[in-house]
Chain A
Amino acid sequence: MKLIYKYSILALTVMLSFQSCSIEPELTDVYDERVAWSGEANVELSLNKFYPLIGQSYYSAHVNQDAYADLLKKNTPNDEVNLLILGSSTITPGANPLDNWSWGYTWIRHCNEFLDGLQTKGVGLPTEFYQRAEGEVLFFRAYVYFELAKRYGASVILYDGLNDGVGRPLSKPDEVWNFIAADLDKAAAQLPATVPAAKRGKITKGAALGLKARAMLYAKRWKASSDAVASLQALNLYDLYPDYRALFNQRRSEGAENKESILEFGFLAPNFTYSFDYFFGPPLDGGYAQISPTENLVKEYQMADGTDFSWNNPVHAANPYQGREPRFYASILYNGATWKGRTLETVVGSKEGYAVGGGTTSTGYYMRKLFDEKLTDLGRGELTFYFMRYAEVLLIQAEAMAEQGQLSAGLEALNKVRRRAGFTRDLTATNTGQLLSLIRRERMVELAFEGHRFWDLRRWGLATSVLNGTHATGVKITKGTSGNLTYELVDVDNGRSRVYPEKYNRFPIPIAELQRNPNIEQFNEWK
């Protein structure tokens, strides 16, 4: 039996020696969280992750939103957007293509996680850097809350820190707007007014003020809005870019000075590009032509002399694309336009002509603004995207002033925008209503395809009339045997009426939130 002991001990020794084989996990593709706060450079990396919020999708989301409104039409009849605007599908608490609840709260959490980490682990960072980093993230948090507020009537849940595992109730709209204003005020106080060229694209004081002006417009806090514009103007940094067309054809790498840009998002080929032209461009470019401008928009582009265009005017109707204001030629591809070295043909039967079914235009037009005429590989767009530009700020100012009854200040802001567009004669108005309708038309034209229209119509209370029971129109152009063109206005909604019930003005709280958060209740109109 001694042998047994001897061998067993030997064997046990051998086996125990394997215990030194560690099974402690090694980090191979992620870092310990301490690296995030170990220095300014790494904190900058954490800040980078918020920037896609202001523009990585380029204008794709915006043109889709303009298609929910009356500016653009999706060319494929069964496109999700068409199904909704024509009532084939409806917004419900379970399904809402314009819902951003989960998206929003995921970003709110990221913002709060960053702010929490900064407070607890970033104490050693230099004060100036600390303040700027905090200011940037406060800006992002305010922006996400603003996007939520836009959709849910500012009746949303507020989190100023990480959640504690208890579902919170909805806050009142006033509380939400106060929260957004406070974040932006603090951001504006902590952010630098300017950044060096090497930091172009970073959030600045002006961006925080501009966003505040925009948000306060939605809050109908006219004074707060115009005050924010005034503070922005007091920085003396911003002005309109002289050429509307050239404004939308800039690349970051070209480094042109652009005082109109308050907050922009740049791209750089080949590794940081977008495919906007690929999905929306005309077919002979190689594009998918998913979307086309409506005649509803096109007819709003005035004649160059400042008079209105009208199909009832025989001179206009005979040559509808002659003598329009410059923004028309910068924004719309029409039959006869020169584009990428060809003369664009949208007449019935031509390769890029009017047709119903998708793959070509269903309105007789293609977009031009936002496309890059020099682009050959349509998947590699790199034009600068504007999150906020000074023209919008001026239109915000005009509206806020008009609402406060300050007609001349409102008109001055409006006319600044129109002068840049090439108009020589200033507009005038004798009452608030008149001025507001001028501003509304100007927003439609100046900010076309930038994603404002749908939300503007909702906040003006006009969506239920403009987007309900109506039909968008297009132009069907037929070429006669002698080459003569006949223009026929057609219903691009194929005889179906658009549907926008009043309750769409405030989207329903998503079902998942209602089911899992005992402290929340659905809005009355959605019960």
Chain B
Amino acid sequence: MKPFKQKQLSKEGQRRDLRFSRSLFALCLLSCTFARSYAQQSRLEGVVRNATNRQPLERVSIRETATKLNVATDLSGRFSLPVEGNKVRLLLTAIGYVSKDTIVTVGNKPIEFLLKEDNTKLDEVIIVGYGQMKKASVTGAIAQMSGDELKTAPTANLSSMLQGRLPGLVTRQSSGQPGSDGASLMVRGYNTLGNNSPLIIVDGIEREFPQINPDEVEAISVLKDASAAIYGVRGANGVILITTKKGKQQKPTLNYKGSYALSKNTAFPEFLNAADYVKYYNKAQELDGVAETSRRFNVDEIERITHGDPQGIFGNTDWFNMLFKSSAPTVTNNLTLNGGSDRYRYFVSTGAFNQDGIIDRTSYDRYNGRINFDADILDNLKLSLNIAYRDDIRKEPGLSAGLGNSYASVFAQAMMSYPFLPAYNAAGIPVGSLNPGNGNQNPIAARDLSGENSIRSNRFQSNLSLEYEVPGVSGLRLKVNGAFDKGYTMRKAYLLPYQLDVYNNATRQYALAFARHANGGVASLNQWFTDSWQKTIQPSISYANKFGAHSVNALFLYEYMRTDNSSLSGGRRGYPITDIMDLNFGEEVIDNLVKGGHGMFSRAGYSFRLNYDYADKYLLEVLGRYDGSPMLPAHTRWDIFPAVSAGWRISKEPFFKEALDVVDDLKIRGSIGKLGNDRIGDYQFLRTMSLGADPVVLIGNTLGKPLNVTTVPNFDIKWETSTTYNGGLEATLWKGLLGVEADVFYRVTKDILQGQSNLNPPSFGGYFPNYINSGIVDSRGFELVLSHRNTIGDFNYKVRGNVSFARSKVIETTENANVPDYLRRTGRPIGLKYGFVADGFFQSEEEIMSSALFGPTRVGEIKLKDLNGDGRITFDQDWTVIGKSDLPEMMFGLNLGGSYKGFDFSAFFQGAARSDVALSGLYTNSGIYDNTFYTMPFYQDGNSPKYLVENAWTPENTNAKYPRLSTQSAQSGGKFSSFWIKDGAYLRLKTAQIGYTLPASWLNKAKIQQVRCFVSGSNLVTWSSLPYLDPEMPSVNQGYYPQQRVYEFGLSLTF
């Protein structure tokens, strides 16, 4: 590169800087000083590159020792520094690189600096509670990932992008519906019998898990052990800290990233077609002993269904094929601007995310905006302002498309529709299947004609903090951080009536009828509005100083938070015209949908932290919180949650260096602490009454509402406390070729807040406190991370694997002494599945005669074990543990990444083990035990997956995979049995990506700094024991929105 050109470019860049600065000025009236640092006399020009692959390095900080001036490199690794004299001493530092302290001579040629990668990553900054810390000094168990890692996955819901990446974080994504496809998150598995959700902190403030553009995320860290004690009563289930990006000291850099993705179902079973349906249905009836004349399909009908019906009554419809599109598009557009001077830095981001579902009329659209601004107002006064805004809207048909458990959902209707009917009659009216007991079905009409259910939410989040360095006392700072968040949600649901030409199996007749939900053919609308606002204030004092080898760091912080909300709803029915569905146009107000209310919640606490280290070698941390909870009565409301941890960097000891020089760094650490959990319903310690929402009686001609006793109070309720112990080791060996991080933990939770209805006989009528402090749970486990990175010539690669394991055990719970041992929850992990033990199929009448039975039983049905040997199969006596929890005990992730010249690639394998899925049994949302479409042929008189009937037991196929082919539901209790428990272990190629960065020389003319295009995918391959269903599907369901496999094509441009 010619020096002349270089210089010209640099000036060009400066002019651009000014333009950008000015446009920003208009935006935030703060930019008058942006360009100030570019005023210059004599300058040192330089470029910083990676020592191994010569790639330019951005964000390298260059400090001139004499003048204490600081600059940073831009995306092409260049910097420019005003200097005096011709010899200067520079200190170059960059995260992930070994710092360089060098003296250079100022000439007219730009100087090239080479930085070596620091594979020890010791200077990486770790986000901790109310602050941050160098990784080398951390003594708690904290897992962290950078936002950059998210870029290797197709854009999706942030929570589902975390799966397998953070050791200790247990995840499960059970739906693929746009807007509802987040993963549930838990830290180190089950911790309590109650609420196990971790605390979510976004930019230092308790907030919901953010639906944000992953490009805004700087880092995500998880506090897994006693380090969460700084969050006191909210810390027991672990804390997930999310921080957003900040502006950098660099010229304004604009990045555009756009992508187009297509998604498909990961797994969905094939259902019966018309010919197979009639064949298997009649066969089932034959086996059920139904006389030929009484069977549902006669010979003529079978013929017409199988070979085409000239009368046009029958058809052959694949309802699922009509329900699912072949693929669904997602379009992502993001624009970020990042820059700043030595005094002001800004990060501005806007993004749009538009996702269509695999089922038409399901969608999720999100628009994000964010401005993070930092200013050094005075030398000792810093201001930081974050403003973020989000608007998202989720839509689905009026009859829900989500979990099929809900009444008349699109999925439930697809499962219950008959494949032997046409989709439309000759007049074009949708055909309905009349399903005895469940009404008429047509999933396509339900999807397209039933109306719409939309949820639109807006969130405004802001933080303002001022930090003041007290003059005269080195290291003493006062800070106040305030946050104000505001959100509203508008939900609008309308149901439209539509007509179906309904086929009645019993009478073999078609008749026009309204769809099952549209009683009387009346359209109705219900609209809800909720408004919420949250205020947080966090004043704090901190002190940091070094006295020789003694280093001290202290923080004392007060936090007060108040959340308010109010809500309003209304409804009308009877719409003469349904083209525009608004409350205005309905004819009749639905009185009991006119509602409104409010709520408030506040909490406060005093957090503290003290860090001490001696010579970077002996590390000690004491932290905690004196915390209050409004959930508790005054005399148990406040308590202290302390924690202590210590670390020893053995590798810093002289004897160690001599003995083991392959070890670059080795730290062992341990922690112990007490944490709390107060997640119970409000007012459990007060005697309260509630007024029922709806009338319950007509006295005279006046409707009367009831005044109910709300709960029986527990006046002495207190919080659950967890004591957690953690031991850890961090090491890097062979100059960073191998990195090891290992943690083992033990945690015991006492005074668990739980209901006691299991303990008290029903004859008490519920007259006892809802919650009592009872029960003990412990959990133990480990996490192990091994990483390796290396460079061979132009080829850079890294491998990072992690395994985490967590197992809980109930030590004590509200369990009656009379419960037999094999049914007990005490002594066992949380979340186990209970039921009968299956023992193959009955193969003969003699076998049935000589066996214990649950009820009337036929050959080919599931045989159950008589555990107590009383000759009968009974619910109370013959149930035992038949399966593990849905939540896996073990999670693993393997990250492979590398680059070669302009190419980069990554692949991420993610898996889980030691969990089970129940195909039938207890519907967790309704508490009812039953079969499902996946376990019983013609369940609810609907369609069946092909595998279930093809491999069913018949007299000709006694060595079958599935029980007897039948149309009757009484299956001898087999639906509650271990037969339907499947191993939930799986391994996925979760994401993979290949990117190509165009050579810089091609782009210079276009004034573009960087162009990268990429192809990526998620859920590409899955290995599991469930060949027809996704292993993360919800246990026991009547159909659910399948998880999606995504292919994404994208482009990133940096100016």
Establish whether residues A27 and B683, one from each chain, have CB atoms under 8 Å apart when the complex forms. yes
Interface string of A154-166 (1 = CB under 8 A from B): 0001010011010
Establish whether residues A21 and B604, one from each chain, have CB atoms under 8 Å apart when the complex forms. yes
Binds A, one of B318-326, B594-602, B953-961, B987-995: B594-602
Query: Which of A32, A165, A288, A356 touches B688 (beta carbons < 8 Å)?
Result: A32
Establish whether residues B707 and A49, one from each chain, have CB atoms under 8 Å apart when the complex forms. yes
Which residues of A177-217 are within 8 A (CB) of B? 196-202
Determine whether A93 belongs to the interface, using a CB cutoff of 8 Å to chain B: yes
Determine whether B495 belongs to the interface, using a CB cutoff of 8 Å to chain A: no
Establish whether residues A23 and B762, one from each chain, have CB atoms under 8 Å apart when the complex forms. no
Closest Cβ of chain A to B182, distance in Å, is 28
Determine whether A25 belongs to the interface, using a CB cutoff of 8 Å to chain B: yes
A379–B590 alpha-carbon span in the complex (Å): 14
Closest Cβ of chain B to A16, distance in Å, is 8
Q: Which residues of A contact B705 (CB under 8 A)?
A: 45, 48
Determine whether B876 belongs to the interface, using a CB cutoff of 8 Å to chain A: yes
A225–B710 alpha-carbon span in the complex (Å): 38
A159–B855 alpha-carbon span in the complex (Å): 36
Residue of A15, A110, A157 ringed by the most chain B CB atoms within 10 A? A15
In the complex, what residue of chain A is closest to B513 when comparing beta carbons?
A: A286
Interface string of B229-267 (1 = CB under 8 A from A): 000000000000000000000000000000000000000
Determine whether A525 belongs to the interface, using a CB cutoff of 8 Å to chain B: no
A107–B439 alpha-carbon span in the complex (Å): 34
Establish whether residues B704 and A33, one from each chain, have CB atoms under 8 Å apart when the complex forms. no
Which residues of B872-889 are within 8 A (CB) of A? 874-876
Establish whether residues B473 and A7, one from each chain, have CB atoms under 8 Å apart when the complex forms. yes
Residue of A106, A266, A350, A515 ringed by the most chain B CB atoms within 10 A? A515
Which residues of A239-253 are within 8 A (CB) of B? 252-253
Establish whether residues B470 and A163, one from each chain, have CB atoms under 8 Å apart when the complex forms. no
Establish whether residues A36 and B695, one from each chain, have CB atoms under 8 Å apart when the complex forms. no
Interface string of B871-910 (1 = CB under 8 A from A): 0001110000000000000000000000000000000000
Q: Which residues of A contact B696 (CB under 8 A)?
A: 48-49, 51-52, 56
Establish whether residues B704 and A51, one from each chain, have CB atoms under 8 Å apart when the complex forms. yes
A18–B507 alpha-carbon span in the complex (Å): 75
Establish whether residues B700 and A197, one from each chain, have CB atoms under 8 Å apart when the complex forms. yes
Query: Which of B541, B588, B764 touches A105 (beta carbons < 8 Å)?
Result: B764
Establish whether residues B697 and A199, one from each chain, have CB atoms under 8 Å apart when the complex forms. no
Given contact pairs A7-B470, A18-B558, A106 touches B766 in the complex (Cβ within 8 A): yes
Interface string of B803-821 (1 = CB under 8 A from A): 0000000000000101100
Determine whether B703 belongs to the interface, using a CB cutoff of 8 Å to chain A: yes
In the complex, what residue of chain A is closest to B929 when comparing beta carbons?
A: A95
Establish whether residues B969 and A78, one from each chain, have CB atoms under 8 Å apart when the complex forms. yes
Given contact pairs A108-B765, A167-B763, A516-B818, A270 touches B560 in the complex (Cβ within 8 A): no
Interface residues on B, range: 35 or more
Establish whether residues A94 and B591, one from each chain, have CB atoms under 8 Å apart when the complex forms. no
Establish whether residues B970 and A89, one from each chain, have CB atoms under 8 Å apart when the complex forms. yes
Establish whether residues B560 and A201, one from each chain, have CB atoms under 8 Å apart when the complex forms. no
Given contact pairs A29-B690, A272-B703, A201 touches B698 in the complex (Cβ within 8 A): yes
Interface string of B688-731 (1 = CB under 8 A from A): 11111011111111111111111000000000000000000000
Establish whether residues B706 and A46, one from each chain, have CB atoms under 8 Å apart when the complex forms. yes
Establish whether residues B436 and A358, one from each chain, have CB atoms under 8 Å apart when the complex forms. yes
Binds B, one of A300-308, A401-409, A438-446, A506-514: A506-514
Residue of B507, B558, B600, B701 ringed by the most chain A CB atoms within 10 A? B507
In the complex, what residue of chain B is closest to A107 when comparing beta carbons?
A: B765
Determine whether A278 belongs to the interface, using a CB cutoff of 8 Å to chain B: yes
Given contact pairs A27-B683, A49-B708, A516 touches B816 in the complex (Cβ within 8 A): yes
Establish whether residues B699 and A202, one from each chain, have CB atoms under 8 Å apart when the complex forms. yes
Determine whether B107 belongs to the interface, using a CB cutoff of 8 Å to chain A: no
Establish whether residues B682 and A105, one from each chain, have CB atoms under 8 Å apart when the complex forms. no
Determine whether B86 belongs to the interface, using a CB cutoff of 8 Å to chain A: no
Closest Cβ of chain A to B502, distance in Å, is 9
Determine whether B761 belongs to the interface, using a CB cutoff of 8 Å to chain A: yes
Given contact pairs A33-B687, A162-B767, A286-B519, A512 touches B699 in the complex (Cβ within 8 A): no
Number of A interface residues, CB 8 Å?
109
Establish whether residues B700 and A30, one from each chain, have CB atoms under 8 Å apart when the complex forms. no
Determine whether A376 belongs to the interface, using a CB cutoff of 8 Å to chain B: yes
Which residues of B98-142 are within 8 A (CB) of A? none
Determine whether B868 belongs to the interface, using a CB cutoff of 8 Å to chain A: no
Q: Which residues of A contact B874 (CB under 8 A)?
A: 92-94
Determine whether A323 belongs to the interface, using a CB cutoff of 8 Å to chain B: no
Establish whether residues A27 and B434, one from each chain, have CB atoms under 8 Å apart when the complex forms. no
In the complex, what residue of chain A is closest to B556 when comparing beta carbons?
A: A15
Determine whether B95 belongs to the interface, using a CB cutoff of 8 Å to chain A: no
Which residues of A29-48 are within 8 A (CB) of B? 29-33, 35-36, 42, 44-46, 48
Establish whether residues A355 and B706, one from each chain, have CB atoms under 8 Å apart when the complex forms. no
A505–B603 alpha-carbon span in the complex (Å): 57
Query: Which of A24, A89, A268 touches B703 (beta carbons < 8 Å)?
Result: A268
Establish whether residues A252 and B691, one from each chain, have CB atoms under 8 Å apart when the complex forms. no
Which residues of A408-439 are within 8 A (CB) of B? none
Determine whether B506 belongs to the interface, using a CB cutoff of 8 Å to chain A: yes
Which residues of A263-287 are within 8 A (CB) of B? 265-268, 270-272, 278, 283, 286
Given contact pairs A45-B706, A378-B519, A513-B761, A22 touches B700 in the complex (Cβ within 8 A): no
Establish whether residues B761 and A512, one from each chain, have CB atoms under 8 Å apart when the complex forms. yes
Given contact pairs A78-B968, A88-B970, A270-B588, A358 touches B700 in the complex (Cβ within 8 A): no
Q: Which residues of A contact B597 (CB under 8 A)?
A: 28-29
Establish whether residues A23 and B628, one from each chain, have CB atoms under 8 Å apart when the complex forms. yes
Establish whether residues B603 and A23, one from each chain, have CB atoms under 8 Å apart when the complex forms. yes
Q: Which residues of A contact B522 (CB under 8 A)?
A: 377
A516–B761 alpha-carbon span in the complex (Å): 5
Given contact pairs A25-B683, A516-B760, A379 touches B816 in the complex (Cβ within 8 A): no
Establish whether residues B763 and A105, one from each chain, have CB atoms under 8 Å apart when the complex forms. yes
A18–B439 alpha-carbon span in the complex (Å): 60
Determine whether B539 belongs to the interface, using a CB cutoff of 8 Å to chain A: yes
Closest Cβ of chain A to B223, distance in Å, is 23
Establish whether residues B688 and A30, one from each chain, have CB atoms under 8 Å apart when the complex forms. yes
Determine whether B296 belongs to the interface, using a CB cutoff of 8 Å to chain A: yes
Given contact pairs A102-B762, A356-B294, A272 touches B695 in the complex (Cβ within 8 A): yes
Determine whether B630 belongs to the interface, using a CB cutoff of 8 Å to chain A: yes
Determine whether B759 belongs to the interface, using a CB cutoff of 8 Å to chain A: yes
Interface string of B663-690 (1 = CB under 8 A from A): 0000000000000000000110011111
Determine whether A359 belongs to the interface, using a CB cutoff of 8 Å to chain B: yes
Establish whether residues B520 and A378, one from each chain, have CB atoms under 8 Å apart when the complex forms. yes
Query: Which of B294, B519, B701 touches A379 (beta carbons < 8 Å)?
Result: B519
Q: Which residues of A contact B507 (CB under 8 A)?
A: 349-351, 353, 355, 360
A103–B507 alpha-carbon span in the complex (Å): 40
A267–B695 alpha-carbon span in the complex (Å): 10
Determine whether A517 belongs to the interface, using a CB cutoff of 8 Å to chain B: yes
Determine whether A3 belongs to the interface, using a CB cutoff of 8 Å to chain B: yes
Closest Cβ of chain A to B479, distance in Å, is 10
Interface string of B194-226 (1 = CB under 8 A from A): 000000000000000000000000000000000
In the complex, what residue of chain B is closest to A196 when comparing beta carbons?
A: B700
Determine whether A373 belongs to the interface, using a CB cutoff of 8 Å to chain B: no
Establish whether residues A168 and B598, one from each chain, have CB atoms under 8 Å apart when the complex forms. no
Query: Which of A18, A26, A31, A109 touches B691 (beta carbons < 8 Å)?
Result: A31
In the complex, what residue of chain B is closest to A201 when comparing beta carbons?
A: B699
- List 11 A-B residue pairs with CB atoms under 8 Å apart, sorted by A's residue number: A18-B604, A27-B686, A30-B690, A31-B707, A32-B686, A33-B688, A201-B700, A351-B509, A379-B520, A517-B761, A518-B818
7 smallest beta-carbon distances between A and B, as pairs: A358-B436, A109-B765, A49-B706, A355-B506, A94-B875, A51-B697, A45-B707
Name B residues whose Cβ lies closer than 8 Å to a Cβ of A: 294, 296, 434, 436-437, 439, 470, 472-473, 476, 478, 504-509, 511, 513-514, 519-520, 522, 537, 539, 541, 556, 558, 560, 562, 588, 590-592, 597-604, 628-631, 637, 682-683, 686-692, 694-710, 758-768, 816, 818-819, 855-856, 874-876, 968-970
Beyond A25-B682, A200-B699, A515-B876, 5 additional pairs, beta carbon < 8 A: A48-B696, A52-B696, A88-B855, A349-B507, A359-B434
